[in-house]
A and B are shown apart, each in its own frame.
Chain A
Amino acid sequence: QKEVEQNSGPLSVPEGAIASLNCTYSDRGSQSFFWYRQYSGKSPELIMFIYSNGDKEDGRFTAQLNKASQYVSLLIRDSQPSDSATYLCAVNQAGTALIFGKGTTLSVSS
């Protein structure tokens, strides 16, 4: 059974701090890794994707992938109250559908 694990949280950080969200996956054949943000009552929205080991930066967001440890993370710098949401980690192999973790709830206090 392919699994994606996330700490459900809530993760609480003050405004301006760095939020660190973590995810582990069970299938070593996983090839693509995604982070989605979901506000309450809304649909998941893609934030970042990463395919290769290392870091990928996009604005205040950095995705980190370590395939040997089967670990992917998302760092949010200068966290804002508007970042408060549930963050979903998703992985897949070619030919399969995205498998999602149960999400981590982030709360940024002003």
Chain B
Amino acid sequence: DTAVSQTPKYLVTQMGNDKSIKCEQNLGHDTMYWYKQDSKKFLKIMFSYNNKELIINETVPNRFSPKSPDKAHLNLHINSLELGDSAVYFCASSQQTGPNYGYTFGSGTRLTVV
């Protein structure tokens, strides 16, 4: 039973298209995140939601819009895709209350914009 699952695993699309990535966690965690990992393997925080509320919104183009319908789900919609959006996008979750035991990551979505 996958703890943090993302779909799709691969996404190839043309510039200018709109696409969505979905994430679900069954760990009972109250906080979820989107990270972007570029070609040099650098993991950078994009957004964080705690119990459906946006708590972190880093400097990300407003073409990226996260949405959390409930605390177990966090989706990422990207409008007007650009070549520079090509990367691996990771969803992660954690428990914010109590000790911080780190994040659990999903398997990632490799987005290729052509």
Contacts and interface: CB of A to CB of B under 8 A. Distances in A.
* Same complex: yes
A92 interface: yes
A76 interface: no
A46 B42 contact: no
Contact of A99 (B41, B45, B101, B107): B45
A53 B108 CA distance: 33
A100 B42 contact: yes
Interface residues of B, number: 21
B21 to A, nearest CB: 14
Interface string B93-114: 0000001111111111000000
Contacts of B90: 43-44
Interface in B1-43: 33, 40-43
A34 interface: yes
A49 interface: yes
B112 to A, nearest CB: 14
B68 interface: no
Which among B43, B55, B108 has the greatest number of chain A C-beta atoms within 10 A?
B43
A27 to B, nearest CB: 14
Contact of A46 (B40, B41, B104): B104
Interface in B36-66: 40-45, 48, 55-56
A36 B105 CA distance: 11
B100 A46 contact: no
Interface of A: 31-32, 34, 36, 38, 42-46, 49, 51, 86, 88, 90, 92, 94-100, 102-103
